[in-house]
């Protein structure tokens, strides 16, 4: 099996019923720390890309305009239920992170948690994030990354053929991806398992 949009939609629909059991507690602190790096202001328009079941919602301010999307319809359904139970107004919809259905410069903040290591084409996903961000907007990323100064070796690349199909890519590097997509990284903080999981805050690099 290989990493494609269709396969990701299927597998995350299958994962949806048990996703919270696996991911809620394990990533509670990393999510909170990543979102804590954002400079929040009332009324901000915010997009959660690859929002899953909405596990970021408890750590987001309530005085923002919140949009959220995920490739899996089952995830979106659970996200909407969580938002309703929390009394939060969230515009939740099925959405491909590599083809965002929003106009240019529409958001003040784009959040991408645990998605860059999953999507088939993270370069395209970051290009879409940059497109929909205002020129002074903030990109909040939290994910697992290979060290920036050490590309994956042969053994890791071989193992990645399996892990990318069933879970996640283990060879991607944060700074080359973000800087190559036109972002300037302002904060880069290890948040879990040493420096394997990192929280990064970035802004579009001025043209």
DSSP sequence for 28-49 = HHHHHHHHHTS---TT-EEEEE
**Contact of 78 with 54, CB cutoff 8 Å:** yes
Task: Enumerate domains of the chain plus CATH numbers.
Answer: 5-204 (3.40.50.150)
Q: Taking residues 55-65, report their average pLDDT.
A: 98
pLDDT at 176: 96
Edge to edge, the sheet with strand 45-49 lists: 90-94, 65-70, 45-49, 107-113, 133-144, 197-204, 183-192
pTM value surpassing 0.85: yes
Judge whether residue 2 has pLDDT over 70. Answer: no
Q: Which of helix, strand or coil describes residue 60?
A: coil
In tens, the pLDDT along 106-119 reads 999 999 999 999 88
What's the burial of 111, exposed, middle or buried (CB within 10 Å: 0-12/13-18/19+)? buried
């Amino acid at each position: 099996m290989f990493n494609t949009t269709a396969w990701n939609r299927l597998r995350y629909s299958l994962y949806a019923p048990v996703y919270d059991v696996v991911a809620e507690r394990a990533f509670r602190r990393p999510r909170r720390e990543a979102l804590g790096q954002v400079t929040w202001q009332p009324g901000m328009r915010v997009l959660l890309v690859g929002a899953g079941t909405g596990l970021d919602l408890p750590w987001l301010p309530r005085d923002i305009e919140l949009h959220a999307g995920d490739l899996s319809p089952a995830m979106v359904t659970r996200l909407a239920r969580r938002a309703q139970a929390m009394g939060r107004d969230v515009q939740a919809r099925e959405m491909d992170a590599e083809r965002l259905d929003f106009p240019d410069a529409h958001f003040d903040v784009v959040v991408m948690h645990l998605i860059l290591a999953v999507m088939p084409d993270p370069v395209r996903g970051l290009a879409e994030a940059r497109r929909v961000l205002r020129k002074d907007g903030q990109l909040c990323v939290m994910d697992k990354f290979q060290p920036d100064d050490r590309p994956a070796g042969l053994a890791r690349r071989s193992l990645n053929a399996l892990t990318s199909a069933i879970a996640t890519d283990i060879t991607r590097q944060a700074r080359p991806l973000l800087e190559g997509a036109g972002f300037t990284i302002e904060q880069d903080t290890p948040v879990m398992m040493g420096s394997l999981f990192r929280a990064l805050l970035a802004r579009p690099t001025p043209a």
